[in-house]
Amino acid sequence: MTGNIDPDREQFEAFKALDRDTPIEMLNLVAFNDLANYPGDHELARDGLTGAQAYASYGAQTAPILQRVGGEIIWRAGFECTLIGPADEAWDAMFIARYPNARAFLAMVTDPDYQKAVVHRQAAVRTSRLIRTKGDAPGAAFG
């Protein structure tokens, strides 16, 4: 697994083209680098932080921003195994973040403090999936 750390332009444009006024939930699947991969000129580049430590810094610095835009983590779990799917995909962090709407998510990722903190995520992550979902009514049947 490599790449998939930040959205590419086409993916971001597709996200922005969707309804911005309805609640959204973002499924996050994240695999960490063994060692954080900060840019060479970053103050933490030589500190030997693990990917998990760098991601914890990202989480701590962005939590107030998430809260400020009305977002929250509604589900978090630890990975155990993949029953259907690529056997080489294992996740270090799995969670769902809920936002009141896409505008709130966009406000978060464009916030100047978020822009400063995202370097920790970029250094921490080996690969990830960020999947926008639209909530549906729960039920007793699949489909």
Give the full edge-to-edge strand order of the sheet including 72-77. 72-77, 93-99, 24-32, 125-133
pLDDT at 54 over 60: yes
CA distances from 93 to 3, 27, 46 (A): 16, 11, 24
**Residue 2: which pLDDT band, with cuts at 50, 70 and 90?**
low
Global confidence as pTM: 0.91
Q: Domain 9-133 falls in which CATH fold?
A: Alpha-Beta Plaits (3.30.70)
Q: Is pLDDT larger for residue 101 or for residue 134?
A: 101
pLDDT in the model for residue 48: 87
Q: Which of 3-7, 35-39, 119-123 shows the lowest mean pLDDT across its residues?
A: 3-7
What would the pLDDT profile of 55-77 be if each residue is shown by its tens digit? 999 999 999 999 999 999 999 99
In 3D space, the residue among 53, 71, 62 whose CA is nearest the CA of residue 112 turns out to be 62
Please report, for the chain, the start and end positions of each structural domain, with discontinuous segments joined by +: 9-133
